[in-house]
Structure 1
Amino acid sequence: MKIPFLGNRRKEPEVHDAEGIAGLLSECELLRHQAQRSGVRLDDTVASLEALDQLVPRWRDDAEVLEWLGNDAGLYLGTVIVGTVEGAHWGIRSDGQPVIRLASGREFDVVADGHEWAASGVPELSQLYAEVAEA
């Protein structure tokens, strides 16, 4: 007899809503605002990554904006990858960091890449995309 309140229950595996996670990670509100102010439309395409690479980096003078924009840039890069590279999907590492995982098993820390791009512009987001797409 299995009586649930007696504590002999098996835990059900935790299920993540992949679409919900992808939706949250794709918001990138600050980046979208900065892009819109500069006339760049973020439509989740490779062309929009190329357009972001051409923005004048006015955010580098504000450390707080730089931090948030770096996060957003990485999450947006991941959003484009997940939407256009077959087999790519979001994953969450044990430390809570969102990453992109390819069907091959390779993992990319796009948030770290976004921070590098926001701080220095190198490597370009479109270049990072090309490296992941070829992997």
Structure 2
Amino acid sequence: MNIPFLDSWRRRRGGERTTVLVSAFDRDPEGAAGLLAECALLRARAQEAGVLLDDTPRSLEALDQLPPRWREDPEELPWVGNDAGLYLGTVIVRTVPGAVWDVLPGGRAVVRLASGREIDVVGAGLDWAITGSPQLSQTYGEAAEGR
């Protein structure tokens, strides 16, 4: 994701990309969560298929039903998977009580449930994009149940 103001901030402070992400969450968690929720490519593919991504569990079920045309494009596949994971995380954080975004050492964004369990949502999104399993709605259901 190219965000010019973050690039200039990083240059001024000599920080790594990880520092920027952690700092963004520390200073403005809602703004950082908004950036993670953009998922532009996934939203475009969903819109082309007539699916509205409204940040609800129902939209995850609709994504699970999409024909996986992105698998035909090896360059697009990882981007759709990354977006699917960030979107899954967005739905979890917005609808599961106590769920929050967290940044692990190395800069990996995960969702932490109230129970303390971490969900590698980007990994789950990539698995879904590549194989279709586990379904996004299944991963959401497990998070909602606290598993």
- Where does residue 77 of structure 2 map in the other structure? 66
User: Any residues of structure 2 matched to 1:51-130 within 5 Å, and which?
Assistant: 51-130=62-141
The letter for the 2-side match of 1:44 is D
Deviation digits for residues 35-92 of structure 1 (CA, Å, limit 9, x no counterpart): 0000000000010000000000000011110010000000000000000000001001
For structure 2, the 5+ residue unaligned runs are 1-22
- Paired with 2:70 and 2:103, the residues of 1 have a C-alpha distance of 28
CA RMSD of aligned residues (A): 0.8
* 2:33 counterpart of 1:32: no
Counterparts of 1:34-49 in structure 2, within 5 Å, are 34-49=45-60
Partner of 2:30: 19
Greater per-residue helix proportion: 2
SS at match of 1:64: coil
* Residue of structure 2 in register with 1:11 after alignment: none
Runs of 4+ in 1 over 6 A off after TM superposition: none
Amino acid aligned to 2:104: R
Structure-2 separation of matches of 1:119 and 1:66: 7
CA positional deviation for 1:16: 3.3
TM-score normalized by structure 1?
A: 0.88
Count, aligned residues: 122
Q: Which amino acid aligns with 1:57?
A: P
Q: Secondary structure, in 3 states, of the residue corresponding to 1:50?
A: helix
Give the % identical residues. 64
Measured in 2, the distance between the counterparts of 1:114 and 1:64 equals: 16
TM-score of the pair, normalised by structure 2: 0.81
| Farther off after superposition, 15-24 or 118-127 | 15-24
**Deviation of 1:17 (Å):** 1.4
Structure 1 unaligned spans of 5+: 1-13
| Letter paired with 2:116 | G
Q: Rg bigger for which structure? A: 1
